[in-house]
Amino acid sequence: MIRVRDLNLRIGTFALRDLSLQVAQGDYFVLLGPTGSGKTLFIECLCGLLRPDAGTIEIDGRDVTHLAPRLRGIGYVPQHQGLFPHLSVEDNIAFPLRTRRLPRAEIKERVGPLVDLLGIGPLLRRWPAHLSGGERQKVALARALAPHPKLLLLDEPVSALDESSRERLCSELHRIHEELQITTLHVSHSVEEALSIGNRAGVLNAGEVVQTGSLTELLRRPASEFVARFFRTENIVPAAATPLPGGGSELSFAGHQLRVAGHHEGSVTFVIRAESLAIHPKGAAVSNGIEATLTRLSERGLYRRLEFRAGVPLVAFSTLPAETFRVGESYRVALPPEAIHVLPPDSLS
Protein backbone atom coordinates (compact mmCIF):
# COMPACT_ATOMS: atom_id res chain seq x y z
CA MET A 1 0.00 0.00 0.00
CA ILE A 2 1.24 3.51 -0.78
CA ARG A 3 0.21 6.58 1.17
CA VAL A 4 1.52 9.94 0.03
CA ARG A 5 0.69 12.96 2.15
CA ASP A 6 1.08 16.63 1.23
CA LEU A 7 4.06 16.02 -1.02
CA ASN A 8 5.73 19.21 -2.21
CA LEU A 9 8.60 19.50 -4.63
CA ARG A 10 9.78 22.52 -6.56
CA ILE A 11 12.08 22.17 -9.56
CA GLY A 12 12.66 25.45 -11.37
CA THR A 13 9.29 26.98 -12.11
CA PHE A 14 7.41 23.67 -11.81
CA ALA A 15 6.09 22.35 -8.53
CA LEU A 16 4.26 19.34 -7.15
CA ARG A 17 1.85 20.93 -4.67
CA ASP A 18 0.36 19.26 -1.60
CA LEU A 19 0.08 16.04 -3.50
CA SER A 20 -1.76 13.34 -1.55
CA LEU A 21 -2.57 9.91 -2.87
CA GLN A 22 -3.42 6.50 -1.53
CA VAL A 23 -3.15 3.21 -3.37
CA ALA A 24 -4.56 0.14 -1.63
CA GLN A 25 -2.69 -3.13 -1.27
CA GLY A 26 -2.81 -5.12 -4.50
CA ASP A 27 -4.46 -2.32 -6.49
CA TYR A 28 -3.53 -1.46 -10.05
CA PHE A 29 -3.69 2.32 -9.91
CA VAL A 30 -3.23 4.46 -13.00
CA LEU A 31 -2.06 8.02 -12.51
CA LEU A 32 -3.17 9.97 -15.55
CA GLY A 33 -2.12 13.41 -16.65
CA PRO A 34 -1.13 15.39 -19.70
CA THR A 35 2.52 15.86 -20.65
CA GLY A 36 4.23 18.16 -18.17
CA SER A 37 1.74 17.56 -15.37
CA GLY A 38 4.45 16.18 -13.05
CA LYS A 39 3.85 12.43 -13.39
CA THR A 40 7.49 11.47 -13.80
CA LEU A 41 8.62 13.82 -11.02
CA PHE A 42 6.09 12.22 -8.72
CA ILE A 43 7.20 8.70 -9.59
CA GLU A 44 10.84 9.70 -9.09
CA CYS A 45 9.91 10.98 -5.63
CA LEU A 46 8.35 7.59 -4.88
CA CYS A 47 11.52 5.87 -6.13
CA GLY A 48 13.73 8.09 -4.01
CA LEU A 49 15.54 9.56 -6.98
CA LEU A 50 14.17 12.98 -6.02
CA ARG A 51 13.84 14.19 -2.46
CA PRO A 52 10.62 16.10 -1.76
CA ASP A 53 10.77 19.53 -0.10
CA ALA A 54 7.93 18.49 2.23
CA GLY A 55 5.45 15.69 2.81
CA THR A 56 5.68 11.98 3.54
CA ILE A 57 5.72 8.79 1.53
CA GLU A 58 4.71 5.51 3.16
CA ILE A 59 5.06 2.11 1.55
CA ASP A 60 3.36 -0.74 3.43
CA GLY A 61 3.02 1.44 6.50
CA ARG A 62 6.73 2.36 6.61
CA ASP A 63 7.84 5.96 6.15
CA VAL A 64 10.32 5.81 3.26
CA THR A 65 10.50 9.55 2.57
CA HIS A 66 14.18 9.75 3.48
CA LEU A 67 15.22 6.22 2.58
CA ALA A 68 17.69 5.45 -0.21
CA PRO A 69 16.00 4.06 -3.37
CA ARG A 70 17.50 0.58 -2.85
CA LEU A 71 15.89 0.28 0.61
CA ARG A 72 12.33 1.16 -0.45
CA GLY A 73 11.28 -2.22 -1.82
CA ILE A 74 10.20 -0.85 -5.17
CA GLY A 75 10.45 -2.11 -8.72
CA TYR A 76 10.70 0.72 -11.22
CA VAL A 77 10.32 0.61 -14.99
CA PRO A 78 11.12 4.05 -16.40
CA GLN A 79 9.74 5.45 -19.60
CA HIS A 80 13.06 4.82 -21.37
CA GLN A 81 13.06 1.22 -20.04
CA GLY A 82 16.67 1.66 -18.94
CA LEU A 83 18.07 -1.69 -19.98
CA PHE A 84 21.82 -1.73 -19.47
CA PRO A 85 23.28 -1.98 -22.97
CA HIS A 86 26.48 -3.67 -21.79
CA LEU A 87 24.59 -6.60 -20.25
CA SER A 88 22.71 -9.40 -21.97
CA VAL A 89 18.98 -9.80 -21.34
CA GLU A 90 19.69 -12.53 -18.76
CA ASP A 91 22.27 -10.39 -16.96
CA ASN A 92 19.90 -7.41 -17.00
CA ILE A 93 17.18 -9.47 -15.28
CA ALA A 94 19.65 -10.89 -12.76
CA PHE A 95 21.21 -7.46 -12.10
CA PRO A 96 19.18 -6.54 -8.98
CA LEU A 97 19.74 -10.03 -7.55
CA ARG A 98 23.50 -9.98 -8.16
CA THR A 99 23.64 -6.54 -6.58
CA ARG A 100 22.10 -8.08 -3.48
CA ARG A 101 24.73 -10.85 -3.64
CA LEU A 102 22.20 -13.66 -3.78
CA PRO A 103 23.61 -17.14 -4.41
CA ARG A 104 23.70 -18.23 -8.03
CA ALA A 105 21.14 -20.98 -7.44
CA GLU A 106 18.66 -18.52 -5.92
CA ILE A 107 19.15 -16.09 -8.79
CA LYS A 108 18.33 -18.89 -11.22
CA GLU A 109 15.34 -19.87 -9.11
CA ARG A 110 13.95 -16.34 -9.19
CA VAL A 111 14.71 -15.48 -12.81
CA GLY A 112 13.26 -18.73 -14.24
CA PRO A 113 9.62 -18.21 -13.25
CA LEU A 114 9.70 -14.56 -14.32
CA VAL A 115 11.07 -15.50 -17.70
CA ASP A 116 8.28 -18.06 -18.06
CA LEU A 117 5.64 -15.59 -16.84
CA LEU A 118 6.66 -13.01 -19.42
CA GLY A 119 7.49 -15.50 -22.16
CA ILE A 120 10.96 -14.10 -22.79
CA GLY A 121 12.94 -17.35 -22.67
CA PRO A 122 14.21 -17.05 -26.26
CA LEU A 123 15.56 -13.56 -25.55
CA LEU A 124 17.88 -14.39 -22.66
CA ARG A 125 21.13 -14.51 -24.65
CA ARG A 126 20.32 -11.43 -26.72
CA TRP A 127 21.50 -7.86 -26.24
CA PRO A 128 19.07 -5.01 -25.44
CA ALA A 129 19.92 -3.24 -28.71
CA HIS A 130 18.57 -6.23 -30.64
CA LEU A 131 15.14 -6.24 -28.99
CA SER A 132 11.87 -4.73 -30.19
CA GLY A 133 10.13 -2.09 -28.07
CA GLY A 134 7.70 -4.62 -26.59
CA GLU A 135 10.49 -7.08 -25.81
CA ARG A 136 12.50 -4.37 -24.11
CA GLN A 137 9.51 -3.50 -21.94
CA LYS A 138 9.02 -7.11 -20.92
CA VAL A 139 12.71 -7.47 -20.00
CA ALA A 140 12.61 -4.21 -18.02
CA LEU A 141 9.49 -5.48 -16.25
CA ALA A 142 11.13 -8.83 -15.45
CA ARG A 143 14.15 -7.00 -14.03
CA ALA A 144 11.95 -4.76 -11.87
CA LEU A 145 10.00 -7.78 -10.57
CA ALA A 146 13.07 -9.97 -9.91
CA PRO A 147 13.79 -8.71 -6.37
CA HIS A 148 10.11 -9.26 -5.39
CA PRO A 149 9.26 -5.60 -4.76
CA LYS A 150 6.33 -4.50 -2.61
CA LEU A 151 5.41 -1.85 -5.10
CA LEU A 152 5.76 -1.72 -8.87
CA LEU A 153 6.14 1.70 -10.50
CA LEU A 154 5.59 1.89 -14.25
CA ASP A 155 6.30 5.17 -16.01
CA GLU A 156 4.46 5.28 -19.35
CA PRO A 157 5.36 1.65 -19.98
CA VAL A 158 3.63 1.31 -23.33
CA SER A 159 3.64 4.86 -24.71
CA ALA A 160 6.56 4.23 -27.08
CA LEU A 161 4.97 1.14 -28.64
CA ASP A 162 2.83 0.81 -31.73
CA GLU A 163 -0.90 0.28 -31.21
CA SER A 164 -1.02 -3.51 -31.45
CA SER A 165 2.08 -3.99 -29.25
CA ARG A 166 0.54 -1.54 -26.79
CA GLU A 167 -2.66 -3.56 -26.53
CA ARG A 168 -0.76 -6.83 -26.20
CA LEU A 169 1.49 -5.46 -23.45
CA CYS A 170 -1.48 -3.95 -21.60
CA SER A 171 -3.08 -7.40 -21.55
CA GLU A 172 0.20 -8.88 -20.33
CA LEU A 173 0.42 -6.28 -17.57
CA HIS A 174 -3.14 -7.08 -16.54
CA ARG A 175 -2.40 -10.83 -16.51
CA ILE A 176 0.83 -10.37 -14.53
CA HIS A 177 -0.94 -8.19 -12.00
CA GLU A 178 -3.69 -10.77 -11.61
CA GLU A 179 -1.10 -13.44 -11.01
CA LEU A 180 1.30 -11.60 -8.70
CA GLN A 181 -1.21 -9.24 -7.02
CA ILE A 182 1.54 -6.69 -6.57
CA THR A 183 0.52 -3.10 -5.76
CA THR A 184 1.14 -1.19 -8.98
CA LEU A 185 1.26 2.48 -9.84
CA HIS A 186 1.14 3.00 -13.57
CA VAL A 187 1.71 6.49 -14.92
CA SER A 188 0.24 7.35 -18.29
CA HIS A 189 -1.25 10.09 -20.42
CA SER A 190 -3.57 7.69 -22.23
CA VAL A 191 -7.16 7.20 -21.11
CA GLU A 192 -7.47 4.05 -23.26
CA GLU A 193 -4.44 2.57 -21.55
CA ALA A 194 -5.93 3.29 -18.13
CA LEU A 195 -9.29 1.80 -19.09
CA SER A 196 -7.69 -1.36 -20.44
CA ILE A 197 -5.67 -2.14 -17.28
CA GLY A 198 -6.47 -0.15 -14.17
CA ASN A 199 -9.17 -0.50 -11.59
CA ARG A 200 -8.57 2.84 -9.93
CA ALA A 201 -7.06 6.03 -11.24
CA GLY A 202 -6.10 9.57 -10.41
CA VAL A 203 -5.70 12.64 -12.55
CA LEU A 204 -2.73 14.94 -12.15
CA ASN A 205 -2.77 18.47 -13.47
CA ALA A 206 0.03 21.03 -13.08
CA GLY A 207 1.49 19.20 -10.11
CA GLU A 208 -1.80 18.60 -8.28
CA VAL A 209 -4.00 15.51 -8.00
CA VAL A 210 -7.36 16.87 -9.10
CA GLN A 211 -9.42 13.69 -8.74
CA THR A 212 -9.05 10.06 -7.75
CA GLY A 213 -11.58 7.26 -7.94
CA SER A 214 -12.68 4.32 -10.01
CA LEU A 215 -12.23 4.75 -13.73
CA THR A 216 -16.02 4.72 -14.16
CA GLU A 217 -16.31 7.60 -11.69
CA LEU A 218 -13.66 9.61 -13.49
CA LEU A 219 -15.32 8.90 -16.78
CA ARG A 220 -18.95 9.58 -15.74
CA ARG A 221 -18.56 11.89 -12.76
CA PRO A 222 -15.59 14.16 -13.45
CA ALA A 223 -14.83 16.58 -10.64
CA SER A 224 -13.91 19.40 -12.99
CA GLU A 225 -14.02 20.53 -16.57
CA PHE A 226 -10.31 19.63 -16.84
CA VAL A 227 -10.99 16.00 -15.89
CA ALA A 228 -13.99 15.88 -18.22
CA ARG A 229 -11.93 17.18 -21.13
CA PHE A 230 -9.01 14.88 -20.24
CA PHE A 231 -11.40 11.92 -20.47
CA ARG A 232 -12.54 13.38 -23.80
CA THR A 233 -16.05 14.25 -22.72
CA GLU A 234 -17.16 16.43 -25.61
CA ASN A 235 -20.47 17.70 -24.31
CA ILE A 236 -19.68 20.34 -21.71
CA VAL A 237 -22.60 22.73 -21.53
CA PRO A 238 -23.20 25.84 -19.39
CA ALA A 239 -26.78 26.02 -18.10
CA ALA A 240 -29.05 27.62 -15.49
CA ALA A 241 -30.28 25.20 -12.81
CA THR A 242 -33.52 25.42 -10.89
CA PRO A 243 -34.47 22.97 -8.13
CA LEU A 244 -37.79 21.15 -8.77
CA PRO A 245 -40.39 20.82 -5.99
CA GLY A 246 -40.57 17.02 -6.17
CA GLY A 247 -36.81 16.54 -6.12
CA GLY A 248 -34.24 16.84 -8.85
CA SER A 249 -33.52 19.98 -10.83
CA GLU A 250 -34.20 21.50 -14.19
CA LEU A 251 -31.38 22.63 -16.45
CA SER A 252 -32.11 25.39 -18.97
CA PHE A 253 -29.82 26.16 -21.89
CA ALA A 254 -30.35 27.58 -25.38
CA GLY A 255 -34.14 27.39 -24.97
CA HIS A 256 -34.12 23.73 -23.87
CA GLN A 257 -35.11 22.27 -20.52
CA LEU A 258 -33.74 19.03 -19.11
CA ARG A 259 -34.36 17.17 -15.89
CA VAL A 260 -31.47 16.01 -13.80
CA ALA A 261 -31.11 14.24 -10.47
CA GLY A 262 -29.91 16.15 -7.42
CA HIS A 263 -30.29 19.65 -6.12
CA HIS A 264 -28.70 22.28 -8.35
CA GLU A 265 -29.20 25.99 -8.42
CA GLY A 266 -27.86 28.97 -10.38
CA SER A 267 -25.24 28.91 -13.11
CA VAL A 268 -23.82 25.46 -13.59
CA THR A 269 -21.96 23.40 -16.17
CA PHE A 270 -23.14 19.91 -16.98
CA VAL A 271 -21.41 17.15 -18.91
CA ILE A 272 -22.70 14.12 -20.73
CA ARG A 273 -20.65 11.59 -22.66
CA ALA A 274 -21.27 11.27 -26.37
CA GLU A 275 -22.05 7.56 -26.08
CA SER A 276 -24.87 8.32 -23.61
CA LEU A 277 -26.91 10.39 -26.07
CA ALA A 278 -29.69 8.54 -27.89
CA ILE A 279 -30.83 9.69 -31.36
CA HIS A 280 -34.50 9.42 -32.34
CA PRO A 281 -36.49 10.65 -35.33
CA LYS A 282 -37.80 14.20 -35.16
CA GLY A 283 -40.94 14.50 -33.05
CA ALA A 284 -40.48 11.16 -31.29
CA ALA A 285 -41.90 11.07 -27.76
CA VAL A 286 -38.83 10.71 -25.64
CA SER A 287 -38.26 12.05 -22.20
CA ASN A 288 -35.47 14.54 -21.61
CA GLY A 289 -35.12 15.06 -25.34
CA ILE A 290 -34.25 18.15 -27.35
CA GLU A 291 -34.57 19.02 -31.03
CA ALA A 292 -31.18 19.17 -32.77
CA THR A 293 -29.93 19.45 -36.33
CA LEU A 294 -27.27 17.05 -37.56
CA THR A 295 -24.38 19.14 -38.94
CA ARG A 296 -21.71 16.50 -39.53
CA LEU A 297 -21.36 12.74 -39.62
CA SER A 298 -18.01 11.00 -39.56
CA GLU A 299 -17.14 7.31 -39.74
CA ARG A 300 -15.14 5.92 -36.81
CA GLY A 301 -15.05 2.25 -37.69
CA LEU A 302 -17.18 0.59 -35.03
CA TYR A 303 -19.38 3.66 -34.56
CA ARG A 304 -20.43 6.93 -36.17
CA ARG A 305 -19.67 10.35 -34.70
CA LEU A 306 -22.59 12.75 -35.05
CA GLU A 307 -22.29 16.49 -34.52
CA PHE A 308 -25.48 18.35 -33.73
CA ARG A 309 -26.44 21.94 -33.24
CA ALA A 310 -29.13 22.65 -30.69
CA GLY A 311 -28.25 26.22 -29.77
CA VAL A 312 -25.10 24.64 -28.38
CA PRO A 313 -22.93 22.05 -30.10
CA LEU A 314 -23.56 18.44 -29.05
CA VAL A 315 -21.74 15.26 -30.05
CA ALA A 316 -23.24 11.77 -30.04
CA PHE A 317 -21.89 8.35 -30.96
CA SER A 318 -24.13 5.85 -32.69
CA THR A 319 -23.61 2.27 -33.78
CA LEU A 320 -26.49 2.53 -36.29
CA PRO A 321 -25.51 2.47 -39.99
CA ALA A 322 -24.51 5.82 -41.52
CA GLU A 323 -27.46 5.57 -43.92
CA THR A 324 -29.82 6.01 -40.97
CA PHE A 325 -28.77 9.65 -40.68
CA ARG A 326 -28.88 12.60 -43.06
CA VAL A 327 -26.83 15.74 -42.47
CA GLY A 328 -29.04 18.85 -42.27
CA GLU A 329 -32.06 17.00 -40.85
CA SER A 330 -33.50 17.48 -37.38
CA TYR A 331 -33.58 14.70 -34.81
CA ARG A 332 -34.79 14.20 -31.28
CA VAL A 333 -31.73 13.76 -29.08
CA ALA A 334 -32.36 12.21 -25.67
CA LEU A 335 -30.09 13.03 -22.73
CA PRO A 336 -30.92 10.48 -19.99
CA PRO A 337 -31.04 12.23 -16.59
CA GLU A 338 -28.83 9.56 -15.00
CA ALA A 339 -26.12 10.20 -17.62
CA ILE A 340 -26.03 13.95 -17.01
CA HIS A 341 -23.43 15.05 -14.50
CA VAL A 342 -23.47 18.57 -13.13
CA LEU A 343 -19.93 19.68 -12.30
CA PRO A 344 -19.37 20.76 -8.71
CA PRO A 345 -19.79 24.54 -8.46
CA ASP A 346 -16.25 25.11 -7.16
CA SER A 347 -14.60 22.89 -9.78
CA LEU A 348 -11.65 24.45 -11.52
CA SER A 349 -11.64 24.57 -15.26
Partner 1 sequence: MAGPRVTPFSVVTVAFVAVFLLLVLTLIITDISYTDAKSLREALTSREVLHALWLSVFTSLTSVAIIVVFAIPVGYALSRYRFPGHAVVEALVDLPIVLPPVVIGLSLLVFFSTPIGKWIETTWVEFVYSVQGIILCQFIVSASFGIRAAAAAFDSVDRRLENLALTLGCTRGQAFWRVALPMARNGIVAGAIVAWAHAVGLFGPLMIFAGTTRMKTEVLPTTVALELSIGRIEVALAVALVMLAAAAAALVLVHALAGARRWWPG
Query: Should residue 175 be labelled a site residue for partner 1 when binding is judged by CB under 8 A?
Result: no
For 25-56, b where at least 16 C-beta lie within 10 A, e where not — what string? eebbbbbbbeeebbbbbbbbbbbbebebeebe
Residues 63-92: x/- map of binding to partner 1 (CB under 8 A)?
-----xxx-x-xxx-x-x-x-xxxx-----
Q: Which is nearer to partner 1, 143 or 304 (CB)?
A: 143
C-alpha dihedral sign at 4, 6, 10, 14: positive
- Taking the C-alpha atoms of residue 91 and residue 209, their distance in angstroms, rounded to an integer, is 38
Least Å distance, CB 93 to partner 1, is 10
- CA dist 191 → 206, 231, 261, 342 (Å): 18, 6, 27, 21
Please name every residue paired with 14 in a beta bridge, in sequence order, or none if there are none.
11
- Taking the C-alpha atoms of residue 304 and residue 300, their distance in angstroms, rounded to an integer, is 5
Query: Should residue 129 be labelled a site residue for partner 1 when binding is judged by CB under 8 A?
Result: yes
Q: Which is nearer to partner 1, 87 or 195 (CB)?
A: 87
Give the 3-state secondary structure of 160-219: CCCHHHHHHHHHHHHHHHHHHCCEEEEEECCHHHHHHHCCEEEEEECCEEEEEEEHHHHH
- Taking the C-alpha atoms of residue 101 and residue 113, their distance in angstroms, rounded to an integer, is 19
Query: Should residue 281 be labelled a site residue for partner 1 when binding is judged by CB under 8 A?
Result: no
Q: Which is nearer to partner 1, 15 or 50 (CB)?
A: 50
Q: Which is nearer to partner 1, 86 or 300 (CB)?
A: 86
Least Å distance, CB 68 to partner 1, is 7
Choose which of 25, 26, 36, 99 interacts with partner 1 (CB under 8 A): 99
Least Å distance, CB 95 to partner 1, is 6
Query: Should residue 148 be labelled a site residue for partner 1 when binding is judged by CB under 8 A?
Result: no
Choose which of 100, 108, 282, 326 interacts with partner 1 (CB under 8 A): 100
Least Å distance, CB 107 to partner 1, is 12
Site for partner 1 in 14-53 (CB under 8 A): 47-49
Return residues touching partner 1 (CB under 8 A): 47-49, 68-70, 72, 74-76, 78, 80, 82, 84-87, 95-96, 99-100, 127-130, 143-144, 147
